[in-house]
A = this chain, B = another copy of it.
């Protein structure tokens, strides 16, 4: 199959760079491994009805005052006055089953915000890796893997997950990549895949979260396929 008939897979390392990749017909996979998109996959897998992502804490407060269950995290920590932050474990609670939860996080919800106009936005994390690959292979569309990064800088853990998906898609003859960042992500993932946790030892955000004693969260977020769902963003809400 020649390149012209294949679908592309590209990796955008930061929300700020997204306009350079913009393609209204592509599927955008939003990635914030530590921890927003891992939390969203977990929540929906455990029965939460939908997540309403909002970019600012102020918006989250407006929803909270209307009586919504509200979650907000900044710089790895729960924002004061909110019930939950972005630890995936918080979302496993029975009491959230069937409920809507409003969520604002440092990077993940901003990434969803910049991708808003895309044809299809889905939420990716190691927790739904194989399910995501299956889904993307079934859609016959170009794919943009949008890393949330850290305050618009490149980050390692989101890039590794992007590389995992690139590795899977390029094994299928339907896909090719014209994109150096996809090749870089793939190379990094291949180096890391046998022990993601150890590979991330030097990563800035793992160190940031370790200071906050979140090792259990990090290990969970790096475990593939424990929440095999495809969260789709539509009309302001994420659901499966």
* A contact set with B: CB distance below 8 Å: 13-14, 16-17, 20, 150-156, 159, 178-181, 183-184, 187-188, 191, 202-205
Residue among B178, B180, B203, B204 making CB contact with A155, cutoff 8 Å = B180
Given contacts A156-B184, A187-B191, 19 further A-B contacts (CB under 8 A): A13-B13, A16-B17, A17-B17, A17-B152, A20-B151, A20-B152, A153-B179, A153-B180, A153-B181, A154-B181, A159-B180, A159-B184, A179-B204, A180-B205, A183-B203, A184-B188, A187-B187, A187-B188, A191-B191
Closest residue of B by beta carbon distance from A177? B202
Closest residue of B by beta carbon distance from A160? B184
How far is A178 from B154 in the complex, measured between Cα atoms in Å? 12
**Residue numbers in B under 8 Å from A202 (CB-CB):** 183
Contact A154–B188 (Cβ < 8 Å): no
Contact B188–A153 (Cβ < 8 Å): no
Closest residue of B by beta carbon distance from A202? B183
